[in-house]
Structure 1
Amino acid sequence: MNPPSCPTQTRLYEDGTVIAEGFPAGQAARKLAAHPRAVLWLDLDDPEMADLAAIAEPFHLHPLAIEDAAQDHEAPKLQRYPGHLFLNVYALDIAADGDRLRLTKHEISAFVTDRALITVRKSSIDTAPLVQRWDADAALTAAGGVSFLLYGLLAVVVEGQFAAALRLDSAMDAVEDALLEEGAAPRPVRMRGVALRKLVAAVRRPVAPMPDLVSQAMRTDEGHLIDERLQPYYRDVEEHARHTVDEVEHLRDRIEGVLQADLAEQGNVLNDTTRKLAAWAAVIAVPTALTGFFGQNLPYPGYMTAWGFVLSTAVIAASAAGLYVYLRKRGWL
């Protein structure tokens, strides 16, 4: 096998023990042949099409699966091909960016054969949690082989998605408190709520298909790639995936409800302001109508003089400016 030119990681497991790791990817096929009971993990970091083509022949990977692995932004899915599965999932990471949250999605594709798990990372992501999960339950490797390696991958991805959902839930508490204060929330607070709604929608897209995807992986009717002894572990991952979906759906309903409540509060504040302005207009309109009806044009101090004109103009301007400042402070302008 011609070695891929992209960075790679390798591990060879036999009877629950790592018997080799860090060897060149070009030696993977020979090591599997030399150890008939061993299973392989081969990781490709941001490979080119030529790198994927280099592993396609020795592992008998379908051309359509290779094409999907080469493409970015594929939907989460699990597809069955003769002799192997193709998996595409997203690991999620939410980090604070000032007073906002930033979502990073790491796309991971995987080929699952009867003796190898080949992962394709399309962005920089730490594989240490994955290796730690395998090492923590090394005894299951002997029982499940590649099924256990796939279980570890799915478990780490689902746990990361659930952690992202919890981070959103904590952030929503602060936004909810600010939006539901008495009176309509300031525009920056509302925009934080809108941004959070967009973030929840972005998280939901890779999370929603995961329960069905894990359920599909448990089916052993084609190729028997998933060991039946690991079915309880897969069911546990499926339950975590469904819990994550429920949490994200709850967050979506929650932020929609909060934004709708703030919108209703804005309407209440607007109605209150309109009522106050109408009352002021009535107070001013009644004397104006009476004096206009009786035609009361009374001389004022400085009437028919230049300084009287300046004084009256100044009084009008000061009254208008004072009313503007008052209304501005009340937030009506």
Structure 2
Amino acid sequence: MELHEDAVQPDADATQVSCRAWRDGRLLHEHVPLEDVVDIAHDPDVLVWVDIVAPTAAGLSTFASQLGLPATAVEDALGPKERPKLIRHDTHLFFTVYAVLPGQSTAEHLALSRLSGWVMPAALITIRRNDAFDMTEIVRRWEEDPELLDAGSGALVHGLLDAVVDDQFAWIETLDERVEELESQLFDNRQAGTPFARTLFDVRKELVTLRRIVLPMREVVSGLLRDQTTDAPALRPWFDDLYDHVLRAAEWTESLRDLVSSAFETNLALSDERLNTVMKKLAGWAAIIAVPTAITGWFGQNVPYPGFSEPLGLWLSVALIAVGSVALYLVFKSKDWV
């Protein structure tokens, strides 16, 4: 199962570029003109965030060359079906992560939004295929702590990844609630069947996708902890806390996968048990029905038998049917076969 997001083919007319700049943790420019972005991005005293939505390969290549980034940076940003990762280059860091979109995700489909970024000492350039992921909340988080912004681009990266992990965590919690509901239905005979198995399969499929985007986050965050670009003393506690959240999310995802696998196996075992119960009941009733069939067949033969051609024969056959059927019923009932 490959990672993918619901996106349209980038169009030059649809490309959006926005830029904000801070100095000493304070907002310097809320909207930087596109022609001034490159100059500001090279100013070591200014922290810059550039957000590019729906970029084209040609446009992104031009922008990367102006920033002094290699051609491989564009390949990393626009490559299809990339896994979450962190790559170190001589001039920058590159990362790719996937954010969960809770408002667009359903029980049958987990909606994802791919976020890529170039990290330089005083600049963060984020690259998004579409605007499905709202950056408004991220900007609010950044500007809540001006002192943290003064630590450099690592503060921007932390705020972005923290929001991504929070959304992943929220969806893991949602899946955990769904698994608990399935567990409560597991031993209810009325709920078992195709709809239950289908729901269980959908949850398992979402967990597989979620596992592919959550587990690699450990490598991304641990790589940021070791890199000089983001290893400012003021940021260390924040990245340690982020790494702890990533570990918890990964462990929770793994435990949910084990629970769903156990639910699959338990549902299969219960199905076999119900089938065995039905077969036992059918066998018990078949044995009971065989008693009157055998007796009436014997007494119906044109040969002498006890009470032949007399009323005694009728009552004798009725008594044998009643006694044999009741006796078998009581025996099977005591063994829970009927």
With the shorter chain as reference, the TM-score category is: 0.7 to 0.9
Give distance in 2, aligned partners of 1:85 and 1:166.
31
1:7 matched to 2:27: no
The 1:119–1:194 alpha-carbon spacing in structure 2 relative to 1, beyond 3 Å, is same
Give distance in 1, aligned partners of 2:68 and 2:172.
38
Q: CA deviation at 1:263?
A: 1.5
Q: Which amino acid aligns with 2:215?
A: A
Give distance in 2, aligned partners of 1:180 and 1:127.
44
The 1:112–1:289 alpha-carbon spacing in structure 2 relative to 1, beyond 3 Å, is same
Paired residues, number: 291
> Scaled by the length of structure 2, what TM-score is found?
0.79
The equivalent residue for 1:139 is: 147
The equivalent residue for 1:284 is: 289
Choose the corresponding residue for 2:27, options 18, 21, 29: 18
1:250 matched to 2:258: no
Q: CA deviation at 1:115?
A: 1.9
1:90 matched to 2:98: yes
1:44 matched to 2:52: yes
Q: Which moved more, 1:286-295 or 1:245-254?
A: 286-295
Choose the corresponding residue for 1:64, options 38, 60, 72: 72
Q: CA deviation at 1:190?
A: 2.1
Unmatched tracts of structure 1, length 5 or more = 299-333
Give distance in 2, aligned partners of 1:166 and 1:297.
76
- SS of the aligned residue for 1:103 comes to coil
The 1:71–1:32 alpha-carbon spacing in structure 2 relative to 1, beyond 3 Å, is closer
Q: CA deviation at 1:14?
A: 0.8
- SS of the aligned residue for 1:75 comes to coil
Question: Residues 231-266 of structure 1, C-alpha deviation per residue, up to 9 Å, x if partnerless?
Answer: 111111000000011111111111222222222111
1:268 matched to 2:273: yes
Give distance in 1, aligned partners of 2:13 and 2:45.
25
Give distance in 2, aligned partners of 1:170 and 1:90.
22
Give distance in 2, aligned partners of 1:273 and 1:19.
75
Q: Which moved more, 1:155-164 or 1:165-174?
A: 165-174
Preserved CA contact (<8 Å) 2:105 2:111: no
Q: CA deviation at 1:101?
A: 5.2
> Scaled by the length of structure 1, what TM-score is found?
0.81
Preserved CA contact (<8 Å) 1:219 1:226: yes
Q: Which runs of 4+ in 1 moved over 4 A?
A: 95-98, 289-295
Give distance in 2, aligned partners of 1:89 and 1:297.
87
- SS of the aligned residue for 2:80 comes to coil
Give distance in 1, aligned partners of 2:217 and 2:170.
15
Give distance in 2, aligned partners of 1:136 and 1:72.
35
Unmatched tracts of structure 2, length 5 or more = 1-11, 304-338
Give distance in 1, aligned partners of 2:114 and 2:105.
21
Q: Which amino acid aligns with 2:126?
A: T
Preserved CA contact (<8 Å) 2:64 2:73: no
Give distance in 1, aligned partners of 2:147 and 2:230.
19
Give distance in 2, aligned partners of 1:29 and 1:297.
110
- SS of the aligned residue for 1:47 comes to coil
Q: CA deviation at 1:291?
A: 5.2
Preserved CA contact (<8 Å) 1:89 1:206: yes
The 1:116–1:158 alpha-carbon spacing in structure 2 relative to 1, beyond 3 Å, is same
1:78 matched to 2:86: yes
Question: Residues 262-302 of structure 1, C-alpha deviation per residue, up to 9 Å, x if partnerless?
Answer: 2211111111100111112222334444555677279xxxx
Question: Residues 211-241 of structure 1, C-alpha deviation per residue, up to 9 Å, x if partnerless?
Answer: 1210011113xx5453233111111100000
Preserved CA contact (<8 Å) 2:222 2:243: yes
Q: CA deviation at 1:29?
A: 1.8
1:212 matched to 2:219: yes
Give distance in 2, aligned partners of 1:294 and 1:196.
61
The 1:198–1:5 alpha-carbon spacing in structure 2 relative to 1, beyond 3 Å, is closer
The 1:285–1:82 alpha-carbon spacing in structure 2 relative to 1, beyond 3 Å, is same
Give distance in 1, aligned partners of 2:291 and 2:105.
56
Give distance in 2, aligned partners of 1:108 and 1:137.
23
- SS of the aligned residue for 2:235 comes to helix
1:156 matched to 2:163: yes
